[in-house]
């Protein structure tokens, strides 16, 4: 039920919505518009993150989302979404059941860590926490399912810190598009803008600013499409898995929170890459993250395929797709990449709709989310830049017959900024962690296994003077550092 309420004349666009239990208010925003939502009474959540009564939350940058209520609520909504409606059909009950099953697995795993006597059905073999791979076609709501399940886990009051893993390089996660990453989640992930689909991270903002700041671990793949270099993606997935395993070995209590892996839709699509390739990356995830549950979002055929492949080792479950998931077209996805980079450099800024004076964005005060990046001029020699995969450099038609195959997809190729074909102008660079200082520990392909410490953009190149201008969210010398370039560009 909806009613206009602008009798006070201050908020002409404010409407009140009364939601029945187990329904949700869905909205879509146009570019350059925002929406303010206040929970006036009752209980409500956005993709599993609860709203506090009386606080006003801002949404912007073409956000598409829903406010769901288990018990019913009244919302005061200010702004003009391009689409808004209430739906009584949601898959939330099914998702909550999945969450309850996972919660039981965590509790059982914790009991074993504490050495409590196992009950009859608590065979040790079953006492593993859920390590979940979420698969599904394009626009099935995979990321949203991951967010809901993660948020329910951290809200369970058991101090869980599940690791959320994003192996979808087109999504950006906490970093920028092109990266894959993982972060332990300790407080609910807010939704405010597609620029921060998994909540805001501490990679660019000083940690002190953001109370919900996450410290993700990232690797740079550099492209949005998984088929561009599946061999490299496979290796990076295994690197992420190896890192998480080390944490798990060091911290058994953290391990029992389990993990949730969001995947790209190409893992599920039957067009494009050959099925074998597709399964290669699914298998890489299953091995790397020691997956013991696969959730398939609304896709019968894939569920059967996965049951055939893994059904004898662990559970494969199909879960319903939400009717609220919005089809995101190519143009929208391109704009989101721009928003993500802009947010990485400048922080999150959403101007409230007219009439709203005090509001928060994803749990943070608006002013705390603004950053000022620094632009600096460096010498070509200061930074060493590589591109991974020699084949990306030249079309195979330009190479002698057979040569393309000899060039490895994993080979680091030095990029010369002085060359007019370097492709560096406006490129995004991933700044890498230092090589191992111990010479005896160094190895040929080490560069593939280095994590990312930050991202930069080359904003101008002055070849005659052998200098270039770099934009970065924070100052710091780049001398002697190594960076990787991929296929992402950004211009303001």
Ligand X SMILES: Nc1ncnc2c1ncn2[C@@H]1O[C@H](COP(=O)(O)OP(=O)(O)OP(=O)(O)O)[C@@H](O)[C@H]1O
Among 23, 69, 78, 140, binds ligand X (CB under 6 A): 140
Q: Position of tokens 């948020």?
A: 151
Cα angle 428-430-435, degrees, rounded to a multiple of 5: 155
User: Is 138 or 251 the residue whose CB approaches ligand X more closely?
Assistant: 138
Per CB under 6 A, does 151 bind ligand X? Answer: no
65 part of the interface to ligand X, by CB under 6 A = yes
| Residue 173 binds to ligand X (criterion: CB under 6 A) | no
Which of 79, 324, 347, 412 lies at the binding interface for ligand X (CB under 6 A)?
Answer: 324
Nearer to ligand X, 173 or 417 (CB): 173
- State the Cα–Cα distance between residues 298 and 294, nearest whole angstrom: 13
Give the residue among 325, 329, 324, 320 at the shortest CA–CA distance from 296.
Answer: 320
135-143, 201-209, 359-367, 416-424 -> range binding ligand X (CB under 6 A): 135-143
Binding status of residue 86 toward ligand X by CB under 6 A = no
CA distances 155 to 103, 149, 480, Å, are: 11, 10, 44
Query: Alpha-carbon torsion 228, 231, 235, 241, what sign?
Result: positive
What residues from 183 to 222 belong to the interface with ligand X (CB under 6 A)?
A: 194
The 8-class DSSP code of residue 200 comes to -
Nearer to ligand X, 85 or 443 (CB): 85
> Which of 11, 74, 139, 469 touches ligand X (CB under 6 A)?
139
- Helix (H), strand (E) at residue 468: strand 467-472
Span near ligand X by CB under 6 A; candidates 138-146, 221-229, 306-314, 467-475 = 138-146
Q: Is 64 among the residues that bind ligand X (CB under 6 A)? A: yes
- Alpha helix ranges (H) inside 79-173: 92-113, 142-155
Least Cβ distance, residue 289 to ligand X (angstroms): 18
Is 335 within any annotated ligand binding site? no
Q: Which is nearer to ligand X, 92 or 388 (CB)?
A: 92
Q: Where are the beta strands (DSSP E) in 280-435?
A: 293-297, 315-319, 360-361, 364-365, 374-379, 383-388, 412-414, 427-432
Give the closest residue to 45 by CA, choosing from 24, 67, 13.
Answer: 67
Cβ closer to ligand X: 134 or 470? Answer: 134
Give the sign of the dihedral formed by CA 130, CA 136, CA 138, CA 144: negative
**Residue 143 is labelled as binding a ligand:** yes
Taking CB atoms, the residue at the shortest distance from ligand X is 324
Is 142 labeled as ligand-binding? yes
216 and 173 Cβ atoms separated by less than 8 Å: yes
Q: Would you say 193 and 350 are in contact if contact means Cβ atoms under 8 Å apart?
A: yes
Q: Which is closer to ligand X, CB of 64 or CB of 131?
A: 64
Q: Is 143 in the site for ligand X (CB under 6 A)?
A: yes
Residue 255 makes contact with ligand X by CB under 6 A: no
Residue 265 backbone dihedrals phi, psi, to 5 degrees: -70, -20
Helices (H) then strands (E): counts for the chain? 8, 26
Q: Which of 136, 241, 352, 454 binds ligand X (CB under 6 A)?
A: 136
Write out the binding residues for ligand X, residues 441-470 only, by CB under 6 A: none
Q: Which residues are annotated as a binding site for ATP?
A: 24, 64, 139-144
Q: Which residues are annotated as a binding site?
A: 24, 64, 139-144
Contact footprint for ligand X (CB under 6 A): 26, 64-66, 136, 138-144, 194, 265, 322, 324-326, 328
């Amino acid at each position: 039920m909806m009613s206009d309420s602008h009798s006070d004349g201050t908020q002409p666009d404010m409407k009140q919505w009364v939601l029945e239990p187990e329904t949700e208010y869905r909205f879509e925003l146009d570019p350059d518009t925002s929406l303010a939502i206040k929970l006036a009474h009752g209980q409500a959540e956005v993709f599993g993150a609860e709203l506090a009564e009386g606080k006003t939350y801002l949404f912007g940058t073409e956000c598409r989302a829903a406010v769901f209520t288990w018990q019913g609520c009244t919302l005061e909504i200010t702004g003009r979404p391009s689409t808004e409606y209430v739906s009584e059909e949601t898959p939330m009950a099914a998702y909550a059941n999945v969450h309850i099953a996972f919660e039981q697995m965590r509790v059982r795993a914790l009991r074993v860590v504490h050495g409590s006597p196992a009950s009859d059905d608590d065979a040790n073999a079953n006492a593993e926490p859920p390590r979940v791979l979420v698969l599904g076609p394009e626009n099935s709501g995979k990321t949203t399912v991951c967010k809901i399940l993660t948020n329910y886990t951290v809200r369970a009051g058991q101090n869980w810190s599940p690791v959320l893993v994003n192996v979808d390089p087109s999504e950006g996660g906490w970093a920028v598009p092109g990266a894959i990453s993982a972060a332990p989640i300790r407080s609910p992930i807010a939704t405010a803008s597609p620029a921060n689909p998994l909540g805001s991270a501490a990679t660019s903002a000083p940690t002190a600013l953001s109370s919900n700041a996450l410290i993700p671990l990232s690797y740079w793949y550099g492209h949005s499409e998984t088929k561009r270099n599946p061999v490299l993606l496979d290796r990076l997935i295994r690197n992420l898995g190896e890192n998480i395993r080390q944490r798990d070995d060091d911290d058994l209590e953290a391990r029992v929170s389990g993990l949730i892996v969001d995947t790209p839709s190409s893992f599920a699509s039957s067009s494009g890459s050959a099925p074998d390739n597709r399964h290669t990356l699914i298998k890489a995830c299953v091995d790397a993250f020691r997956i013991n549950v696969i959730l398939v979002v609304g896709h019968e055929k894939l569920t059967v395929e996965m049951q055939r492949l893994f059904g004898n080792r662990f559970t494969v479950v199909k879960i319903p797709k939400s009717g609220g998931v919005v089809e995101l077209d190519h143009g929208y996805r391109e704009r989101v990449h721009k928003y993500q980079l802009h947010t990485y450099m400048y922080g999150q800024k959403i101007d409230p709709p007219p009439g709203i004076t005090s509001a928060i964005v994803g749990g943070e005060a608006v002013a705390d989310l603004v950053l000022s990046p620094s632009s600096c001029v460096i010498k070509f020699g200061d930074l060493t830049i590589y591109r991974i995969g020699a084949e990306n450099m030249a079309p195979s038609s330009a190479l002698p017959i057979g040569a393309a195959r000899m060039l490895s997809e994993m080979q680091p190729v030095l990029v010369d900024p002085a060359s007019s074909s370097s492709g560096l102008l406006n490129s995004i660079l991933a700044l890498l962690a230092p090589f191992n200082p111990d010479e005896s520990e160094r190895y040929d392909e080490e560069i593939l296994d280095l994590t990312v410490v930050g991202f930069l953009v080359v904003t101008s190149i002055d070849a005659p003077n052998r200098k270039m201008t770099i934009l970065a969210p924070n100052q710091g010398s780049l001398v002697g550092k190594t960076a990787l370039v991929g296929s992402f560009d950004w211009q303001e």
